[in-house]
Amino acid sequence: MSKDAILGSIRRGLRRGPLPADQRAMLESRLATHPRHLIPARSRLPRPQQVALFVRNVEKEFGTVERVPDLAALPAAVADYLAAQNLPPRFVLAPHPDLAGVPWSDRPMLEFETRRAEGTDQVSVQHGYAGIAETGTLMLPSDPARPTTLNLLPETEIVVLRASRVVGAYEEAWDRLRAEHRDALSGGFMPRNIMFVTGPSRSADIEQTLELGAHGPRRLHVILVDDDPAALPMADAEVPLRPAEPGGPAAPGD
């Protein structure tokens, strides 16, 4: 069968048979320890600057960010954002416990349904799992509380993210997932789907010229909930564009 033919052909090329047990054990240990490689210095910053770097990178990729003090501030933030964009105050909401506990009735104009998204939905409010400062990237794993369609079908996606969930590098986000998530089916930690989202959808297929809003959301708005006192902006601190020295101060979890 094809499997044996392919593996046989690879082994002929490598001039050996199946790997001996000791070499297999070595490779299995590499998989089990999944060593990190070089992590760029740009995200290894003290917390306030790390979160500021995340915000700046989201904006660099044509996303927008608003910081709010707590989840209770969400209804006003969502209502005001939609009004500013001339959008109706209607959205589909991720069925996440964090979002269920929000006092939405503070803004009685807001209408929402808690479900997956359909083709007709204009706006979604999604729950973010982590933010990666290195490139301003949101990590959105699928699970019953975070339907994937919310990231794809509406023209406008609002992602609610706790500042305590902003990390420096992708590797730190993987560490969190490995530690926190269990997949009942495979026994591993990977959910069915993880989207890493950096800015709104775009295409440069017409004359290599960038246009926003291809098939996914045209607008990506992040509402950052400042639940991490150590990550609050420092009054006088200037955020450096890049750390002065490669290998500067290490970020938490590094």
Partner 1 sequence: MHVTSPAFKANASRAMRDAGLQKALGKAKGAFLERRAAAVAALPEFERLRDIGRDIKNHTLAHLDFYLETYAANVERAGGKVHWCSTAEDARAAVLEICRKAGARTVTKGKSMISEELGINEHLEANGIQPIETDLGEYILQLRKEAPSHIIAPAFHLNREDWEADFRRMHTELPADRVFHERRDILAEARTRLRERFLAADVGITGANFLIAETGSSVIVTNEGNGDLTQTLPRVHIVLASIEKVVPTLEDCTSLLRLLARSATGQDFSVYTTFSTGARRAGDLDGPEEYHVVLVDNGRSNMIGTEFQEMLRCIRCAACMNHCPVYGVVGGHAYGWVYPGPMGSVLTPSLVGIDKTALLPNASTFCGKCESVCPVKIPLPGMMRHWREREFERHLTPSAQRRNLGLWAFMARRPGLYRMVTRAAIGALGLIGRGKGALRSLPLAGGWTEGRDLPLPEPGGTFMAQYAKARREKRA
Helix (H) or strand (E) holding 53: helix 47-60
Alpha-carbon gap, residue 233 to 29, rounded angstroms: 41
User: What gap in Å lies between CA 125 and CA 151, rounded to an integer?
Assistant: 9
Q: Are 113 and 172 in contact (CB under 8 A)?
A: no
Shortest distance in whole angstroms from residue 141 CB to partner 1: 9
Amino acid at 53: L
Select from 50, 30, 52 the least CA-distant residue to 41. Answer: 50
Q: How far is the CB of 186 from partner 1 (least distance, A)?
A: 4
H or E stretch including 29?
helix 21-33
From the CB of 80, what's the least distance to partner 1, in Å? 26
* Cα(134)–Cα(44) distance, integer angstroms: 9
CB of 51 closer than 8 Å to CB of 165: no
Q: Please report how close the Cβ of residue 159 comes to partner 1 at its closest, in angstroms.
A: 14
Q: Which is nearer to partner 1, 68 or 212 (CB)?
A: 212
Nearer to partner 1 by C-beta: 77 or 220? Answer: 220
> Angle at the Cα of 234 (from 231 to 236), degrees rounded to 5?
165
Please identify, using beta-carbon distances, which residue of 203 and 237 lies nearer to partner 1: 203
Question: CB of residue 49 vs partner 1: minimum separation in angstroms?
Answer: 17
Tell the smallest beta-carbon distance from residue 206 to partner 1 (Å): 5
In the bound state with partner 1, the residue whose beta carbon lies nearer, of 179 and 215, is 215
Rounded to a whole number of angstroms, the minimum distance from the CB of residue 33 to partner 1 is: 9
Nearer to partner 1, 110 or 197 (CB): 197
> CA 96 to CA 141: how far, in whole Å?
12
DSSP string, 8-22: HHHHHHHTS-SPPHH
Distance CA 75, CA 103 (A): 7
Nearer Cβ to partner 1 (77/148): 148
The nearer residue to partner 1, 95 or 128, going by C-beta atoms, is 95
